[in-house]
Chain A
Amino acid sequence: MSFLLVQALSGLATAATLFLVSSGLTIVFGVTRIVNFAHGSFYMLGAYLGWSLIERFGTTPAGFWGSVAAAALGAGALGAAMEAGLLRRLYRSPELFQLLGTFGVVLVLQDVTSWIWGAEDLLGRRAPGLKGSVDILGQPFPLYDLMLIGLGPLVLGMLWLLFNRTRWGTLVRAATQDRGMTAALGVDPARLFTGVLFLGSALAGLGGALQVPREAVNLHMDMAIVVEAFVVVVVGGMGSLTGAFLASLLIGQLQAFGILIFPQITLVLVFLFMAVVLVLRPHGLMGRAEEIPPTTAASLAPPLSAGAGVGLWAALLLAGLALAPLAAGDYALIVLTEMIILALMAASLHLLIGLGGLVSFGHAAWFGLGAYGAALLVKHLGAPMPLALAAAPLVAGVGALVAGWFCVRRSGLYFAMLTLAFAQIVWSVTFQWYGFTGGDNGIVGVWPPPWAAGKAVYYWLTLALCAGALALLRRAAFAPFGYALRAGRDSALRAESVGIDVRRHQWFAFALAGSAAGLAGGLYAFSKGSVFPTLMAVPASVDALVMVLMGGLQTVSGPLAGAAAFHLLEAEVMRVTDWWRLALGLVIVALVLLFPKGIVGFLADLRRRG
């Protein structure tokens, strides 16, 4: 009994931190309608800043709490700077660009943090005056955690007062409900938004700084917390503070007790919980239907035409690529092989985004599932490569079929969040199921059999399989299936009123794209000889999005060019510098700033000017 009570209390302490971070995220979303990936980075920076300050001044209670407050303010200032420098230019952009832009900031801040504080985990000082523990029904419970439990409701109360008792808070609430109106009221929206980003980021920084006495500060804190905060915000209802509070409590308890019942899959539980909530209560526990803006992809969509002579160009390109081993060395062939694999990956994602208007933030899950499907068959059953390669798209396709059933129930940002959640489920199973998948040690020794071991032979095999799959995807894009998918994107209302089952097409497209990505993953596993959980982590999904974005959404062949350009860039940058995250982050930020309306919008603007 007392054990359960202590477990529940530690769930409450987790919930308090979760609430601090997710309240900031939900406030920022409510006003700016941007899902801010960098929110987790402000949490991490809050922790690092807090660590440094607490090391110097944290021996006295005043010094400790002053350090925590200063760290929160520092994170807030960074958030405000990001609003002024980046977000302000993205408010009218498609949500894909907003998500990517803030993710670029994540990458930049990761490398900057690593440059300042180093890659080692940092252990912080414990809070003076709160070092001990109290006795709760005979069980010890940390005093510091008890303080955190009280802090959650306190912050909720203060935020409530801020939003309901001050002029600034009233304006923020007004802006949350109707952005256009605030401008009409004579409020400078730019200053209001900067202020909101300051508040939201400071809350994240506060949450981070408060972690210093509890756990080691490290470079993985940002993604770990932001994904959890997404779940809280989505479950609670995007933009709702009380919803975030409620969801934090529920998820805190779910984690505290989940670890007792299913220690292997605590991460999975949280995401499953979110998926179930979204299916039962589509707008979250306290969310409102109108919180979600319609997706802007449709209005930017250009006509898609087959283009004359594409067949000829494709044949020439294919012939050129087939002849490459005659001239290229092993290193060049390896790069080319990977490029072709990534082209298939990007093309499969483009099927969802370009045709269906479905921005998936977890496409790497299916790539990884294919790779792991093939590698596990080899490792556990000694399957031959052809069988493993055939299984890759099947495994990924079935996975995508299951996830897709949930995901296509929602559109726009919620779709993106759901795909992200499912990718995290797949990732965390792989990461936590040590005995089966090898955890973060991955699976090694997945090499092609002797007949395909030569770089040239494997290259030809990859080329043949990928070219075939790409041809099929292209066929599907121009067949009634691809048209029906576009119809659902252009006008779901019209599509449904002429008998098109939009959801079923999206579902099927999700599975098709997933299995194509799975084939790419299977080929990737044998080309590298190993698989690791990072293949399906969020950054891998973002890489795929960047490829699609670089190639442009408007053509079916765009993603191929994008994948090639991206991979070359990555290979070259990684060769010359260790700071490739910084470089990639800056490229992403530059892309979304240069093409804030998407590449198509950019071209349309050019035409209008010209």
Chain B
Amino acid sequence: MSRPGSRLEVRDLHRAFGGVQAVRGVSFTLESGDLLALIGPNGAGKSTCFNLLNGQLRPDRGSVRLDGAELVGLPPRRVWALGVGRTFQITATFASMTVAENVQMVFLSRARRLFGLWRPAAACFREEALALLDRVGMASQAERPCGVLAYGDLKRVELAMALASDPKILLMDEPTAGMAPTERLELMALTAALVRERGLAVLFTEHDMDVVFGHATRVLVLDRGRTIAEGPPEAVRADARVQSVYLGGDA
């Protein structure tokens, strides 16, 4: 699965909602092998940043380039087709389908076979889907409808769905929210392993500082829409500005 490294370059993103500047001048670079944590207090602009990156929102200004190709202005499905996968803060899966079918849909989409009218979808890419579910530890629940899964399991289904498109960049919005502590560490260990195996580049947001400082290769700190620090976890942890605006009394 390894391939020449990819590079996501984010330059000077701005986005306002009415009079509120949610994101003002965020820039960073994400390369294969990175596990970049995007942190910041509530309202810092993390989710907005995510939505700007995958085309859900359009920035007022700035650029997002994947290996040189501009992503700004493309709808989410085109951004996805270029190799940017995503999981959501509030899980979004196809509730009326089984876990396996959810992942099969992504394979079908990648193979551009969604307009097929004849061959049953349940028989398409089944092996591939099961293999991926095995990788994220969901093989035993492959036949359960997504509508009845526990929250932590849904997060893993989302990860499998994101991986099914073989992305270069993976955006994970709070991948471990709502999980038990041991589950969190497992999922992040899995993500870190995938980054190494596949040469992925992952950008994730997270509230749990153990997860952030335990797994991220780099950390980017936002406060009120601006970058206030970026660097290796230790350096960010030691940064006085970060401690004052974000970690506050805890540090």
- Listed in ascending order, the chain A residues whose CB lies under 8 Å from chain B are 298-299, 301-304, 306, 472, 475-476, 478-484, 486-487, 489-491, 493-501, 505, 508
Report the bound CA distance from A540 to B20 in whole Å.
50
Max chain A Cβ within 10 angstroms of own Cβ: one of B97, B105, B113: B105
Report the bound CA distance from A480 to B108 in whole Å.
7
B residues in contact with A491, CB < 8 Å: 92-95
Q: Is the CB of B77 within 8 A of A303?
A: no
The segment out of B115-123, B133-141, B203-211 that lies at the interface is: B115-123
A302: nearest residue on chain B (CB-CB)? B96
**Closest CB-CB distance, A505 to chain B, in whole Å?**
7
6 smallest CB-CB distances across A and B, nearest first, come from A494-B92, A490-B94, A480-B116, A499-B109, A483-B121, A303-B145
B213 at the binding interface (Cβ < 8 Å): no
B residues in contact with A494, CB < 8 Å: 88, 92-94, 161
Q: Is the CB of A505 within 8 A of B114?
A: yes
B246 at the binding interface (Cβ < 8 Å): no
Q: Is the CB of B97 within 8 A of A487?
A: yes
Report the bound CA distance from A94 to B238 in whole Å.
54
Report the bound CA distance from A302 to B146 in whole Å.
10
A479-B118, A481-B115 in contact; A497/B97 too (CB < 8 A)?
no
A476-B117, A479-B118, A487-B105 in contact; A499/B81 too (CB < 8 A)?
yes
A residues in contact with B86, CB < 8 Å: 497
- Listed in ascending order, the chain B residues whose CB lies under 8 Å from chain A are 54, 56, 75-77, 80-81, 86, 88, 92-98, 101, 105-106, 108-110, 113-122, 124, 145, 147, 161, 164-165
Given A298, A301, A475, A499, which contacts B77 in the complex, CB threshold below 8 Å?
A499
Given B98, B117, B120, B124, which contacts A306 in the complex, CB threshold below 8 Å?
B120
Q: Is the CB of A481 within 8 A of B117?
A: yes
Q: Is the CB of A496 within 8 A of B95?
A: no
A residues in contact with B77, CB < 8 Å: 496-501
Given A483, A493, A508, which contacts B105 in the complex, CB threshold below 8 Å?
A483
11 contacts between A and B (CB under 8 A): A298-B95, A306-B120, A475-B117, A478-B120, A480-B114, A480-B116, A486-B94, A491-B92, A493-B56, A497-B92, A499-B81
Q: Is the CB of A481 within 8 A of B116?
A: yes
Q: Is the CB of A497 within 8 A of B80?
A: yes
A residues in contact with B54, CB < 8 Å: 497
**Closest CB-CB distance, A598 to chain B, in whole Å?**
14
A475-B117, A487-B105, A497-B54 in contact; A301/B96 too (CB < 8 A)?
yes
Max chain A Cβ within 10 angstroms of own Cβ: one of B76, B114, B120, B121: B114
Q: Is the CB of A498 within 8 A of B161?
A: yes
**Closest CB-CB distance, A600 to chain B, in whole Å?**
11
B residues in contact with A480, CB < 8 Å: 105, 108, 113-116, 119, 121, 124
